[in-house]
Homo-oligomer: A and B are copies of this chain.
């Protein structure tokens, strides 16, 4: 490994849908940058590609961002160097090929009203269309993230101050989003009218905080106040917090995958605890697809909650059957890439003592391409498992997402166009059961923390049933555009 340092800031410039990300914001705290650092660290599971923090000292903005984990991008020196009393931060999901520092957020721009930092989680289905329109009018784009589109909209909005400019912009964009904005003297946070992407509001002493997930509040010692409502814009400044219902809330459609896979188990989204929801998914799965087995195990870490739910409902003991190596890093050498070494078990190992000679129920949250499932089933078999019954705590994933999840690999989805039996053979399980869509809905609704939040149970299930809450004609246009470019 060489001595020199290449400070990467480059790569190709493709235009692609936004990915799963995490945002955090805090207003008026002497350690705003440091707390944002901890907040992002709590949201690290939502994105490991890049991290960034923009701060305001009340007069102007500063920004630091970079590729890698929060702990790699920031050190004491950087955090202290940022200073400031308000801040927003962002972590971004890693996908091959589009790792561009230029695409790291927050974005900081200067426009006629001054400086603005902004970051978001989600995907704007009409971003490409707006972008094309803006380009037609002579705008330039320096990144491939749709955040930049909103920066343009804010800058071009009518002449009544930054708040109404943000409002106007939020009325233009369609899709799923949770936005945080920072100006020298204001923090703004907004959520799309369907509430596809989560965003919560909390309080740390006198300071207001916002975060993609409530676990970030626990980490910084803040108290959860409420979720930002679908269609709502929250503004915090020296006069305190006020709210604007920018657009009427429509059909509530929080992404169900947040419960199934994305969110941390200790987060509560729309009043539902994620761990509890997963456990209910497991319970429902046991009811729908029972198995004659000796033990239940789950794929660590995301499927442990569902597996314990399955075990409880089925009355079969839950066991630790798979052990995960905790040191899998981003820079790990993959055996397949470079050598003849095969059969290496890097991430997971099966516990022979537990599974040998036993009939095992293996719970996982989803099957993507099938290769990983097949590998894990194989691990259990070669550790002596007599039978392996694979149970999936969500329905077959069939339709692309347009509201913030990267489905660029949609063509590879194993479930598309295959019968369950075909998939079972492919992953070499003795039996295979997917949770039903209705089962999933009832399971999640039943897990509501607050009885009075009935709406909590209504989610976007488009990836499972193709029922898109927001028209994706614009999105189609986007893909067409991309087709032209390549």
Contacts and interface: CB of A to CB of B under 8 A. Distances in A.
Contacts of A11: 62-64
B142 A108 contact: yes
B141 A13 contact: no
A218 interface: yes
Contacts of A30: 340
Interface string A51-89: 010000000111111111111111111111010000000
A104 interface: yes
A423 interface: no
Nearest to A151: B140
A425 to B, nearest CB: 25
Contacts of A337: 76
Interface string A333-363: 1010111111111100111111000000000
A109 interface: yes
A484 to B, nearest CB: 11
A57 B273 CA distance: 50
B331 A2 contact: yes
A415 interface: no
Nearest to A221: B343
B76 A344 contact: no
A406 interface: no
Given A3-B72, A135-B112, A308 B304 contact: no
Copy number in the complex reads 4
A143 to B, nearest CB: 8
Nearest to A324: B301
B221 A10 contact: no
A157 B332 CA distance: 41
A277 B460 CA distance: 45
With most chain B CB atoms within 10 A of its CB, the pick from A78, A79, A109, A138 is A138
A305 B115 CA distance: 48
A351 B171 CA distance: 37
Contacts of A35: 341
Nearest to A135: B112
A270 interface: no
Contacts of A330: 3
A135 to B, nearest CB: 4
A66 B1 CA distance: 12
B353 A449 contact: yes
Contacts of A340: 30-31
A140 B154 CA distance: 9
Given A75-B2, A142-B142, A155-B135, A45 B327 contact: yes
Given A13-B115, A273-B352, 4 more contacts: A3-B4, A4-B71, A6-B73, A45-B326
18 contacts: A1-B3, A1-B77, A3-B7, A3-B68, A4-B6, A8-B64, A9-B101, A31-B341, A34-B341, A35-B341, A75-B333, A80-B338, A101-B101, A109-B142, A110-B142, A138-B152, A138-B156, A273-B351
